[in-house]
Amino acid sequence: MAALGNLVEIYTDGACSGNPGPGGWGALLIYKGHERELSGGEADTTNNRMELMAAIQALESLKRPCRVRLHTDSTYVRSGITEWIQRWRQNGWRTAAKKPVKNADLWQRLQAALGEHQIDWRWVKGHAGDPGNERADALAREGVQAAVIPPTPSLPHKGGGGDV
């Protein structure tokens, strides 16, 4: 494994308008005083899927192995990655009750995104004034809005002659 450099602080959050419904995810990455914001959304999703996407997108954006402190207000994500995922894998992505793991596609993608990173998963109470979590929440809400607003249709081009 390559030498892991300085710490990258990551704050992630997901949001959904209805569950399911339009959803968004947001991530704030902080490294050596520099900040990077990421966000996105989907038209029909769940809050848990957006929480997972925030962590996935943040980790996939890292260009080399890093030490990471990842803050999430989702006990689903933190418990899933630190307690449940190994058993799910061993059970062929089935729960202890033999039911398919919900969001298995994203859990598998998150596991792949862990790569060679050294990650300290931290739970933070949501909507409690933590500046990083509040920024991630705002980015997730922006993602919801982007998913709700339909794209503007293209207008026909009115140009001079030709069959182009």
Residues designated as active site:
13-14, 51, 73, 127, 137
Q: Give the integer Cα–Cα distance in Å for 73 and 123.
A: 5
Dihedral class, residue 13 (left if φ above 0, else alpha if ψ from -120 to 50, else beta): beta
Beta-sheet pairing, 21-31 with 34-45: antiparallel
78, 123 contact by CB (below 8 A): yes
CB 29 within 8 A of CB 135: no
